[in-house]
Amino acid sequence: MTELSKIETLFSRAGSAGRKSLSEAEVYSILELCGLGAPVHVVVPSPLKEPSAAAADLCSRIPGEKLVLKVLSPATLHKTESGGVKVMVKESGPVGEALLAMAAKFPEAEGFLACEFVEHSAFALGEELLLGARSDDAYGPVITLGPGGTAAESLIKSLRPGLAPSVMPVDLAFNSQAWKDFLEGSWAWGYASGGVRGGRRLAQDGEMVKWLEGFVHLLRNFRDGGPSEWAIEEFEINPLAVSKGRLVALDGVLRFRKAKPDASRHKPSRKGVESLIHSRSLAVVGVSEKKMNMARIILNNVIKAGFPKEKAYIVKEGASEIDGVKCYPSPADLPEKADMYVVAVPAPEVPKVLADAGASGKVNGVVLISGGMGEKSGSEDIGRTVVDILNRGREKNPDFALSGGNSMGIVLNDARVNTFFIPEHKLEHPLGVNPHGARTAFVSQSGAFVISVISKMPWLKPAYSITVGNQQDVTVPDYVERLADEDDLRVIMVYMEGFKPGDGLALAKVIEKARAKGKQVLLYKAGRTAVGQKAVMGHTASIAGDYLVTRAVMEKAGALVAETFDEFSDLAALAYYLADRRPENGNTFFMSNAGFEAAGMADAVKGLLAAGMSPELAADMGRTLKEHKLDSIVDAKNPLDVTPMATDAAIGAIVGAALASDEYSGALVSMIPLTVAMSTLPKSPDWPDDLDNSFLKGAAAAARAEKKPFIFCVGAGARYEPYCALAQSLGVPVFRSADRAAAMYGRYLDYVLKP
């Protein structure tokens, strides 16, 4: 019998007994079958008979001078806290007494486990690890490695994001480099391997890799859709002790269940997705002749966007034309195949509309605006019906695909398509091209998130604004995968709520692909808490996923993960304006006309942002300060407090010198605009200011010429919005607090300069 067959037998025996977990002794048996380090152990069955003889037997079989006695009981989850663990000298008399005491305290116990005492320190960092694995619908089986011991949970919570634990889905490609990267990214293993200052190596990397590969082998064989009838739900070794150069399990939990069949979805064809993002013909269903309903708003937005009317159609019986667009009674009657077929009808009408579209063979991509397709309680039957209709439609047209339901629509700048159902007087639609912005795609499950962002950031003009809704067919990873192949696309912004089965891993793979092609990927993942997951489940009917896993996997794949909505907007501005200005290093010049801002920026400097100035550059800037009569009150340095006395001419000359210098790869300038020395308000007969005289035009031009980042901050109120708008119109990212600007730029630099 092979090792895998023996493990299968263990699961089957436990499953037949109605158990969903293995005992600690059974966990050790599995580790031994995998060639991994389990302590020498002896099981004493319950009810306890002849305790003296049992004690003498186990004392003769357990090595060393001490042993560990444990209760075996599925009702006792925390053995240490409940008194179910005792470390003692290996003498048969005291051991027999301890067995009797445990039997009295835990009458429900299935037995008792005696283990060898493994020498290590429970309080030294790196000597107790936690190696875990679990089944995840979004990512498949996932392995985690972090600090272990009784304080593992509280320790992990106290660490800043990104430190622990390391996470890796087992379905990713594994090789020696992958394991090296995994271990180097593990804060806990850094202590075990002597990778911290003053530390010593407690175990070789190869010892840890042996354990990791053993877990991968187990999880690939006992998983949903795998070769066994059983799947590992959760497997945790805590602590995994580092002792005398080897790794030994000192406790283990394994929960299992019947394996589920392969839940992989039927992905839409590449051409189906292509039709939705490069539409050359378009039809709308649900347009009213008598009122401005949702479908008619969409039709008018399409026309106003500049989409050719001769390529736009309405599917409606009993009408010949609405708003100058021809009507056809059914999709089968359309004069050509519709690349995009926008459906905005009440939920009960959706199945027939989709069935007609699929049966016609003349529809490629459907944009389903209508909601209630499975994301709402009670609509599950409609959701399943939609999937059946899609499958039937693909029999006639393999490129039949659906985006939505519950979608806000899609805006395609190149194709002049705008299917958002927001009237123009409510939102400045993201049409047109910002000459200073990188070519960008915005893919979001939430349509409201997209319109909220572009309403606050009207200068943001994505080439693609795609809202995906409940991902009934086409999902976020499907869109990102296709967009990753757009050579001139520089930035992909993603808002994610929930995953379809396997889509967490799929998104990680396409982000890795996009990053390898030089694109920047910004991600916000919602649904991080139990309450948050319930909120997004109501919207997307998708798997919310575990945020800790998502953040670790997506960052490893190459995403810049935003922690808050404001952070998403800040990082989006930096990526949009600076994606084509890759700095050579993190050296940044900081300047303000207020001492508190200069100090705040210095305090916020982290990561790759560096201060300092060479004597040569200081002398050059000193001459500029002297020319503008500032040398008596300020010295050239970085950060530089140029004082409220500085004029636009002085500031422009200093910024220009910093950007022209090889010492700095970028500049962050923050101005308190209330000073009378600068022009910070629009021209008016009531004051001397004139924004045409601002230093911003020259500084922005110098940054473009040098291809270096230039970030601007305005630390003042709403009166100075025109000042901010001027900077944004020149392609300069604008912040309203200097310390936040420094912190966000530091995060962005950490990302773009990561090897």
- What does the pLDDT average to over 345-360? 95
- The Cα 755–Cα 734 span in angstroms is 27
Q: What pLDDT score does 200 carry?
A: 84
Amino acid identity at 327 = C
- Return the structure tokens found at 599: 């100090």
The predicted pLDDT at position 337 comes to: 97
Q: 270-578: CATH homologous superfamily?
A: Succinyl-CoA synthetase domains (3.40.50.261)
Q: pLDDT value at position 530? A: 46
- The count of C-alpha atoms lying within 13 angstroms of the C-alpha of 389, restricted to the half-sphere facing its C-beta, is 23
The token duo for 654 is 């200093």
User: Residue 608: its pLDDT value, please?
Assistant: 58
Highest mean pLDDT among 144-148, 190-194, 390-394: 390-394
Check residue 461 and give its pLDDT: 96
Residue 114 or residue 610, greater confidence: 114
Rounded to an integer, the average pLDDT of 174-197 is: 83
- pLDDT surpassing 50 at residue 202: yes
Which class for 740: exposed (0-12), middle (13-18), buried (19 or more C-beta within 10 A)? middle
Using the 8-state DSSP alphabet, how is residue 637 labeled?
-
Residue 714 has pLDDT above 80, yes or no: yes
Is residue 613 within 8 Å of residue 597, measured between CB atoms? no
Residues of each domain in the chain carrying CATH 3.40.50.261 = 270-578, 588-752
Query: Which string of DSSP letters, residue by residue, matches 464-501?
Result: EEEE-TT-SSS-HHHHHHHHTT-TT--EEEEEE--B-T
Give CA–CA dist 331/363, Å, rounded: 7
Lowest-pLDDT choice from 310-324, 482-496, 579-593: 579-593
E strands, 304-439, where? 312-315, 321-322, 325-328, 338-343, 363-368, 401-404, 410-412, 417-418
Q: What is the pLDDT of residue 37?
A: 84
Instruction: Return the CATH architecture of domain 128-258.
Output: 2-Layer Sandwich (3.30)
CATH 3.40.50.261 fits 588-752, yes or no: yes
Gap between the Cα atoms of 70 and 41, Å rounded: 11
Q: Which residue has the higher pLDDT, 281 or 173?
A: 281
Residue 534 has pLDDT above 80, yes or no: no
Q: Answer whether residue 159 shows pLDDT above 60.
A: no
Contact 334, 362 (CB under 8 A): yes
Residue in 594, 532, 613 with CA at minimum distance from that of residue 565: 532
Query: Residue 76 has what pLDDT?
Result: 63
For the four alpha carbons of 362, 385, 286 and 281, in that order, the dihedral sign comes to negative
Specify the CATH number of the domain 40-117: 3.30.1490.20
CA angle 207, 213, 219 (to 5 degrees): 140
pLDDT at 610: 66
pLDDT tier for residue 745 given thresholds of 50, 70 and 90: very high
Other beta carbons within 10 angstroms of residue 94's beta carbon come to 15
Question: CATH 3.30.1490.20 residue ranges in the chain?
Answer: 40-117
| CA–CA–CA angle 133, 134, 136 (5° rounding) | 135
Average pLDDT score over the chain? 89
For the packed helices 648-660 and 615-627, what is the interaxial angle rounded to 10 degrees?
160
Q: What is the pLDDT of residue 597?
A: 85
Percent with pLDDT over 90 in the chain: 70
Q: Which of 235, 351, 238, 336 is nearest to 283 (CA)?
A: 336
Q: Are strands 282-285 and 338-343 parallel, antiparallel or unpaired?
A: parallel
Rounded Cα distance between 707 and 702, Å, is 8
Helix (H) or strand (E) holding 666: strand 666-671
In this predicted structure, the answer to whether residue 503 has a pLDDT above a threshold of 90 is yes
Q: pLDDT tens, 448-485?
A: 999 999 999 999 999 999 999 999 999 999 999 999 99
Amino acid at 487: D
CATH 3.30.470.20 domain range(s) in the chain = 128-258
pLDDT at 752 over 70: yes
- For 196, list phi and psi in degrees, rounded to 5: -110, 155
* E strand map for 349-414: 363-368, 401-404, 410-412
pLDDT for 383 beyond 80: no
Please report the pLDDT score of residue 181 as a whole number. 86
How does pLDDT run across 603-614, given as a tens digit for each residue? 776 655 666 899
Whether the per-residue pLDDT at 432 is higher than 50: the answer is yes
Query: Where does the pLDDT of residue 733 fall: very low under 50, low under 70, confident under 90, or very high at 90 and above?
Result: very high
Residue 538 has pLDDT above 60, yes or no: no
- Please, are residues 665 and 638 in contact by the beta-carbon 8 Å criterion? no
Contacts of 555 (CB under 8 A, 6+ apart): 162, 561
Distance CA 327, CA 319 (A): 6
Checking if the pLDDT of 303 tops 60, the result is: yes
Higher pLDDT, 219 or 186: 219
Whether omega before 583 lies within 30 degrees of 0, making that bond cis, reads no
Report whether pLDDT(545) > 60: no
